[in-house]
Structure 1
Amino acid sequence: MTIGVMEVNLVDAHGLKKSDFLNNIDPYVLVQYRSQEHKSLIAKGSGSNPKWNQKFTFRVEYPGTDDHPKLFLKIMDHDTFSSDDYLGQTTIYLKELFESGVESGTSELRLQKYRVVDSSSHSFSGDIRVGVTFTPRVETEFYSQEFGGWKESQRFPLNPSGEYNVNSMRKLLESKLNTFKGATIWRSKIIPLNVRCFMWRSVLGRIPVAETLAVRGINTSSTLCSLCNTETETADHLLITCGYSRVVQHWIFKWCGLEDIMFSNIQEFIDFAATWGNYPRTFCYP
């Protein structure tokens, strides 16, 4: 489960229908996500086109019990001497926002207009302008569910707020990898995420070849390469220097119209791959 923060930027509304034709309306908004609710300021005397310019934050657990998480914005008209009147409601669906945030470290529904609908009459009652962002965070052992939120958090030096988030950690990693040419390909959207993860694990020696299994105390019948049966099965050998791997590399490079290059390890191959963007766009399209 991912824990994160959703920020709702409530800007303004336009064309709200008046509930009382004799008096101007004083709109405010109830912003609701699951059991959490925030109330905006009352835009006194603003009529059908109120402005709020407020931001609200919500704690998010994703995935949760609701398969289709939603944000509700309920627009009300404040009355001093009677109960407040209902003007309409907007629903924003959040599933894709959360999924994208979990994958990329942050996600955003840019500021845009949403229709306000009177659910009792199913009629259009104006529009409201809202933006939503979602940022996953990591909770520490200091968090306690009984207090209903973050009680205390360890400060993260690269983030001005002192809170850990994925983007700040990514910047830290990139600063440590600035001398490694292959680092430029980790964020490439052209390369599927599972391929990038496999490349990263290969560089770190984290794929289950015979040598790695032996180091972890897992017995195998032999530590020799199962393809050539002549050398120890390391990640560099299996993926780069084994005769079978050489043949695969040769034909791929020939298909792409590249000079056949002999690599000695995975690191050299990754460094070379980081330069592929310098080739013409016809690369690999014979």
Structure 2
Amino acid sequence: MTERQPLRENEYGRWAEHGTGAPVILVHGIPTSPRLWRHVMPLVQGRSLAWEMPGYGSSIPRGSRHDLSLSAQAGYLLEWLGSLALDAKPVLAGHDLGGGVAQIAAVRQPDAFAGLMLTNSVAYDSWPIPSVKIMQRMAPFLARLPATLIYPMLVQLLHRGHDNPQVALESIGEHWAPYVTHGASRALMRQVVPLTPHDTDNVSGQLHALGLPARVVWGEADRFQQVQYGERLAEELGCDLTRIPQGRHFTPEDHPETVAAAINSLLSGS
């Protein structure tokens, strides 16, 4: 899965797929795509389906006619999931914004999932991060900037979010390509403008009642989503927190073995 392969597609969405067996739904965040999970998917002992949110990755053009809030994305995820006719309930895994989408989807339809794994996820009032708030305020201006001026912003964000410099460079190449292909400035502003903590605040206090097996994995040195939010999520979900010492934000790229191990423990029921 490290090599780039065409995404699968139906009328409800696009996704990358790898493996066979019990299903796992993987949800990325910003500024990424299903490629976020490229090193995790070969390690998952099941059928991995990495969903692409409308407005991100190769689906950036779809963002022009979609509500890109997390609440809306959770609805799109559930519609897409319903279109797949899976043989078993999937484990649901999310990172960053995708973790917020996963929380909302699980609260709406807890019976649709076999487990929940969150890693360095937005939650409660932990987001948007300060740089995103600045982009939200300046969106009309930033949307008109050439891609050459947006690129340094994305590079800085990705470097700050990785503890492995080599993987950070790889990540920049992976995640910049869709933006430059589909209009970086407008695409990024369409993504950031609708982001609001109300979407995760609205499900806070409901996670404890899900009754789902859960795992929470966190890079302790994350500058974007601080570890205390991981502690709070683990407590509410009734599970232990797996800490990654010195780990930063993009755990699926820097620490795929740890993330995959958490998913596999849910698949095996251990």
- The answer, yes or no, to whether TM exceeds 0.5 is no
* Larger Rg belongs to: 1
Higher relative contact order (CA 8 A, sep 6+): 2
Q: TM-score, normalised by structure 2?
A: 0.20
Q: Which has the higher helix share?
A: 2
Would you tell me which structure has more strand in proportion to its own residues?
1
What is the TM-score with the length of structure 1 in the denominator?
0.19
